[in-house]
């Protein structure tokens, strides 16, 4: 088994563990999320050593989700910003759009609406200019932006989306 295989296995296991935490609560939920975080920290470390930039961006992105689950929003934001930076260097617009949308979701959650709007606009532009964007990812970006328009008292823009 190669380190690349190890990274993929760690990310799959961590994501599965995170999903198992969804219907749980309290200490059980916290333990599952922390276990996922440990696997993702290992994946990020392996990627930094020998992984591809795409793998690194994905591992960082997944770790950001887990940090957000734990309420570590500053850490999550820094991780998503790093994942976006890595994606910009790789030149994979759909991966970039996905990570930017998640960064926008966090900024919306934190009440930083102008920053969230800029993220959503960039993500949507990337999806719109791609010849075949993933429909679910594109729809998630549209819905998130529409929700932002609704909460910022722009109901007409929300309805247009």
Long-range Cβ contact pairs of 101-108 (< 8 A, separation 24 or more):
101/137, 101/140, 101/141, 101/144, 102/61, 102/64, 102/65, 103/77, 104/144, 104/145, 104/148, 105/144, 106/64, 106/68, 106/73, 106/76, 106/77, 106/80, 107/77, 108/144, 108/147, 108/148, 108/151
Mean pLDDT value across the chain: 94
If 0-12 CB within 10 Å is exposed, 13-18 middle and 19+ buried, where does residue 144 land? buried
The packing angle between helices 93-109 and 73-90, to 10°, is: 160
Q: Confidence class of residue 4 from pLDDT cuts 50, 70 and 90? A: confident
Residue 5: its pLDDT value, please? 84
- Stated pTM of the model: 0.93
d(CA 25, CA 73): 19
Helix (H) or strand (E) holding 95: helix 93-109
Residue 139: its pLDDT value, please? 96
Structure tokens at 24: 């749980």
Residue 22: its pLDDT value, please? 97
Question: Mean pLDDT over residues 13-35, rounded?
Answer: 97
For the chain, the structural domain boundaries read 1-91, 92-161
Structure tokens at 58: 């994905």
In the predicted model, is pLDDT for residue 46 greater than 80?
yes
d(CA 13, CA 150): 37
Residue 153: its pLDDT value, please? 77
* Mean pLDDT lowest among 38-52, 86-100, 144-158: 144-158
CATH code of the domain made up of 92-161? 1.25.40
In the predicted model, is pLDDT for residue 35 greater than 60?
yes
Q: What percent of the chain has pLDDT over 90?
A: 89
Each residue of 51-72: pLDDT tens digit? Answer: 999 999 999 999 999 999 999 9
Residue 95: its pLDDT value, please? 97
**CA neighbor of 63 nearest in space, from 49, 42, 46, 84:** 42
Question: Mean pLDDT over residues 77-103, rounded?
Answer: 97
């Amino acid at each position: 088994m190669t380190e690349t295989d190890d990274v993929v296995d760690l990310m799959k296991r961590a994501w599965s563990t995170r999903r198992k935490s969804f219907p749980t609560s309290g200490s059980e939920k916290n333990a599952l999320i922390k276990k996922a975080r440990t696997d993702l920290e290992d994946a990020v470390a392996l990627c930094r050593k020998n992984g591809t930039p795409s793998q690194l961006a994905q591992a960082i992105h997944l770790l950001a989700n887990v940090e957000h689950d734990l309420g570590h929003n500053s850490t999550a934001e820094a991780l998503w910003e790093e994942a976006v930076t890595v994606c910009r260097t790789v030149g994979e617009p759909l991966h970039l759009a996905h990570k930017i949308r998640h960064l926008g979701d966090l900024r919306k959650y934190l009440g930083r609406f102008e920053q969230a709007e800029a993220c959503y606009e960039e993500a949507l532009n990337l999806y719109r200019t791609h010849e075949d964007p993933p429909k679910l990812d594109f729809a998630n970006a549209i819905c998130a932006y529409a929700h932002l328009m609704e909460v910022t008292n722009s109901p007409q823009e929300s309805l247009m989306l």
